[in-house]
Amino acid sequence: MNGPNEKLSDDESNRVDFWLRTGCLHGGESEAFELFKRLKADWYFTDDAEARLFVSEFGYEVHGTLGVILWNLAEKHINKNQALASISELRKSSIWLSEKIISHAINAVKEISDSGK
């Protein structure tokens, strides 16, 4: 891929159309999935639960925004306060997360932070 204007190949476009027709993925997720495979990326990122399940069925590692926050905390790219602030900001965003998931994420932040001491 040479940049943001890179086009899907005909084969990739056909697969995107297939994913759309079968209802497996929506438009953005379908295109992202094809580019992900072309780039042989390590992680596929989406906050769409159905897309995460679908892509993981192919054996790929899939993460959402919370996973990215927790990974950055574990790798010490951000600190505990930054992680908690990021989770707080997610609550205000258009991404829907249940209170149970938020609670698990906050507990994970505490566990990761405590294990690094």
Write out pLDDT tens, residues 17-45: 999 999 999 989 999 999 999 999 999 99
Q: Strands, E, within the chain: which ranges?
A: 43-45, 61-63
Q: How far apart are the first and last CA of the chain?
A: 41
- What's the confidence (pLDDT) of residue 80? 97
Q: What are phi and psi for residue 94, nearest 5 degrees?
A: -80, -5
CB-based contact 19:25 (threshold 8 Å):
yes
pLDDT at 116 over 70: no
pLDDT of residue 115: 86
pLDDT at 38: 94
Q: Decide which of 89 and 96 is more confident.
A: 89
Q: Residue 16's closest CA among 49, 40, 38? A: 38
> In this model, does residue 13 exceed pLDDT 70?
yes
pTM of the model: 0.77
Residue 117: the pLDDT is: 57
Please tell me the distance from the alpha carbon of residue 65 to that of residue 87, in angstroms, as a whole number: 9
Q: Write out pLDDT tens, residues 55-84.
A: 999 999 999 999 999 999 999 999 999 999
